[in-house]
Every structure is written in C-alpha cells, then in structure tokens.
Amino acid sequence: MREGLRARKFSAVDLAEAHLAEIEKTNAHYNAFITITRDKALDMAAASDAKLAKGQGGLIEGIPVGVKDLFCTKDVLTTAASHILDGFKPPYESTVTQKIWDAGGVMLGKLNMDEFAMGSANLTSYYGLVVSPWQKVQSAECRVQSKGENDNSALSTPNSALVPGGSSGGSAAAVAANLCPVALGTDTGGSIRQPASFCGIVGIKPTYGRCSRWGIVAFASSLDQAGPIARNVRDCAIMLSVMCGHDAKDSTSMKLAVPDFAAALSGNVKGKKIGIPKEYRVDGMDAEILAMWDRGATLLREAGAEIVDISLPHTKYALPAYYIVAPAECSSNLARYDGIRFGLRAGDAGDSLTAMYEKTRAAGFGQEVKKRILIGTYVLSAGYYDAYYKKAQRVRWLIAEDFRKAFEKVDAILTPTAPSAAFAIGEKNIDPITMYLNDVFTVPTSLAGLPGISIPGALNKDGLPLGLQLIGKAFDEETVLNVAYGLEQAINFKTIPLGV
C-alpha cells in the first residue's frame, strides 16, 4: 500500500474509502469497531494526499490504522470498552497515537476490546463481543501446514462462531478480516500475542519502556505496553519504528535510539542460538501444538540456527504471580473512576457522595473488572500484602532472573503462543481458571518485561491457526523481528479466513 501511494497508483482517500466501505459492510457481524471515524479518516487521507503530491510524507503516510479503544484520542470517544467511560472524549492525544498521526497514519476508528483490557477472548466488552473471521471446519483434509501447504480448498462448512482472543480482539479480528492493514494493541499478559495467534496474523509486544504509556488507559502499570498487530512481520517492524521513542511524560519510557526495525529484516538466522524451554511442555498439551513447535525448531535448524535446550524453572509460578500483581495494580488504577470528573454518573440527586460512588461503580464496571478489583484490593489489604503481593513480586524477580540466565546462552527463545487454537464463543468463559490459562505461555515474558512476537505457525485439524512465539532480550526487538521474519519465510503461512 505504501509503495502504491508513493507511486500514485491510488490515493490515500481511495485507500481510506475502500477500508471504510468494508468496515461498514461487515462490522455488524464482527463487531470489531466501537467507533468508526469516517469524516476524520477522509480528512486525514486528503491531507496525506497533499503531502504525497509534493513528494513529502512520513513513514506510513496515507496508511489506514485501527486503534484499540484503550488509547486516548483527542475529541474522539474513548471507552476502554466500559460503560463507566460513557461519552468520554479526551482533550488530549496519547503519545503513541500522536506518533502514528505525525508519521502519516489515517485513523479509521476505535477498536473493540475486553473491558479495561481484562480478558483473553474479547467477551467482556460493554459494547458486545467480537467475532473472529476464522471458522472451524469439518473437513478431514485440513492439515497442519508446512512449506508450501497453503491450499484453502479444504476449508468447508463452518461450525459455531469463534473468539478472536483478547484483550486486543477487535484489533486482531479487524486485521485478519481486512478491515484495516495494521492496528494498535496493548499487551499486559499476552493481549497482543494471543489474539494474533488465534487470528493467524502477527503481533509484537516490545520491551517494557520501549513505547510510551502516556495516554493509554491504565490496567496494570508495571506490565502494560503498546504494540502493533499486522498481517506480517515486516508491517509490524515498520509500525514499531513509528511507535517507539522516549517520552518525558512517561517515567518508565527509556531514552534509547529507535532502530529502523524493517531494515534489520534479513531473515538470516545462521549462527543464532534458539532456546527451547522444557517447562513450556505442559501436561496434556495439544499434540498439534507440540508438532508445530517442533516443526518451527526444525525450520530454524535447517536455516542455520542452533537449537539449545534451556530451563526456565519458575515458569509454573508465573500465572499465579501475574493474577496477584495485575489485579493489585488494576484496583489502584481503577479507583479514579468515581462518576465525578468524567464518564458515567449513576444515582439520584439526593444521594450522598459515597452512595453515588457505589452506584456509579456498580453500574459502570462489568463482572470481570469487578472481580479483579476485589482480588486486587484483597491482596493489597492489611495482613495480606506480605503474604500475597510482596511474595508475587519476589516470584516475578525470579522469573526475570530465569530469562536473564537463559539469555547468557541463547539469542532468542521459541515457544508456542497459546495452549490452544481459538475456541467457540461461550465454550470456556464460564470457568475463569480455564480462561486465565490461555495466557500461560505469554505471561512469563510480560512479567520479565521482555519483547515477544507471535507469528502464524500452522493450521490445526479444524483449519484454525496456531501461533509460535519468539522471545528476546530486553530492547533487542531487532533480533526478535529478524528471527521471526526468517521463520515466517520458512513456514510460508498464506491461509486466510473464510469469506475474507
């Protein structure tokens, strides 16, 4: 698209209108967008055309972008998919989205998500669940992909609708369904990587501190990180170069030069050492995911990489530690939603201040958010802080130390992204423990603050995508992206969802 715009084969307005038409035609089904910014998109596209006509423009001039509704966008409804932020139009722009617009991006709208980014299936949004463009198939001919095996003829009659993953489910579904070429997501415990895996696309969580968190509605401040979702590694690399950079408004933003990530994509992995952690082979693991993982390691070995067995011994404690740390931070961050300053206000004129708070929060927050606030408040309370929160933070340090020791031996780590393919809507959400286990392979990376990327690795017997995750050293996104690019070329995954 970028080359076509620069060659004047089509205009930015043409591109925006084509995507807007597709959104308006199919969004009622997918429910990927909460807000469609048609007029703003066309105005931004026209401005891009004026720049391109003069031979000017930024790195992504004229490219349509979808924005997860966790990013504050000036004068555009920003809800975090929660009732409690009804009508909230920020008077400011998040740092990351401002960087996107400064580089020429065109905003198509705000994408659906799990409420306040709390969820792994995009089922908790106040604005309704998101439907994946992928469909389970019944044909026995559908097989795990390897080099060149991209035949879509086996994709036949669909069963029930599937989840797109979460919390960035709207972003992943929109990219997979061709509603936008790239989208912004956020990742706290796997919320970019897991939906990318479920939707057969690419998503990267950069190192904590690589992208500014300023203007992103906070869930867990020591974990939240912005990142791009796209259809291939190169597009993610281009977007990441735009999104990164130091921001004085975010005290956790690192003062580091931003590499040209796309320029580092040679695909050459010769001599690279790739770690395979034994602890990620969990009991009862899906045989097809194991086969995909083994195939990924084989392809890297054939490309000249050395496969090294490693140990991350504290992996089994990652999920319980995460589900103490993240709710604790959420209970603190979400205390600001009180009905006084912005968003929803519930109750009667005669209510006391406390009654108004209670009614607003009871009406404004969904069940999953309330559950995590209660858990977080409990683990921070007197008598329990040392027993739960402080201990979880110690475990978090041990997990980070495991990775530090592993990276003395290897350049990157290869694992599955998720323990399953996408599941049917309503299949797992009754059992919260089963739902939380969706993040078993992504949470350790988040707790350690490391970069991780998910790429499509194969199709399972039901014709659904399975993802491979590559984890790298802190602030070494170049290696992560390049190894992912080499593996992407070897896998040659080209299957698209039915009907797209």
User: Does residue 191 carry a catalytic annotation?
Assistant: yes
- What single-letter DSSP state applies at residue 71? B
Query: For residue 71, which of 109, 40, 41, 106 has the smallest C-alpha distance?
Result: 109
Q: Is the dihedral of CA 206, 209, 214, 218 positive or negative?
A: positive
Can you read off the two tokens belonging to residue 367?
A: 């069940």
Quick check: helix, strand or coil at residue 388?
helix
Phi (first) and psi of residue 459, to 5 degrees: -105, 145
Told to judge if 249 belongs to the known catalytic residues of this protein, a careful annotator would answer: no
Q: Which of 68, 99, 136, 205 is catalytic?
A: 68
The question of whether 156 is a catalytic residue gets the answer no
If you write DSSP's letter for every residue of 187-241 in order, what string do you get?
ESSSTTHHHHHHTTSEEEE--TTSS--TTBPPS-TTT-EEEEEESSHHHHHHHHH
Beta bridge partners of 470: 414, 453
Residues 486, 265: Cα–Cα separation, whole Å: 8
Neighbour count for residue 307 (Cβ, 10 Å): 15
Catalytic residue among 48, 167, 171, 331: 167
Amino acid type, 36: I
**Which residue out of 82, 94, 171, 191 is catalytically annotated?**
191
Q: Who contacts 33 (Cβ-Cβ below 8 Å, separation ≥6)?
A: 23, 27, 66, 108, 109, 110, 111, 112, 170, 174, 179
458 vs 144: CA distance, rounded Å: 5
* CA 240 to the chain's CA centroid: 13
- Catalogue the active-site residues: 68, 167, 191
